[in-house]
Amino acid sequence: MGKLELPMPDMGKGLKAAAKDLETKIRAHVPVEFKKSVAVTAFKRGKATGLAIEYDDRAENHVYAAIEYPVGGGKGESVDPSR
């Protein structure tokens, strides 16, 4: 099981809402067999806040692509990774 933690600055909406949004975006990019393995949760450690992303190791390249190049990103460089 892979795990990635993203530190997040204070945001306008709550961390739980941001986690749910990111989970939905990532699940839209990964192959069907890995969708249920993706889980995004919010965390707080002292003053640090962020999002923890857990996923099946075999879906790692899709998870990173979903974070770095979201479809419809608006800059013309967005990609949809091959499945």
Local confidence pLDDT in tens for the 83 residues of the chain? 777 777 665 555 678 888 899 999 999 989 999 999 999 998 888 888 888 999 999 999 999 998 887 666 555 444 555 55
| Predicted structure pTM score | 0.70
Please, which residues bridge with residue 47 across strands? none
What is the widest separation between alpha-carbon atoms in the chain?
39
pLDDT at residue 26, rounded to an integer: 93
pLDDT given for residue 11 in this prediction: 55
Residue 46: half-sphere exposure toward Cβ, Cα within 13 Å: 2
pLDDT value of position 76: 46
| Contact present, 54 and 1 (Cβ < 8 Å) | yes
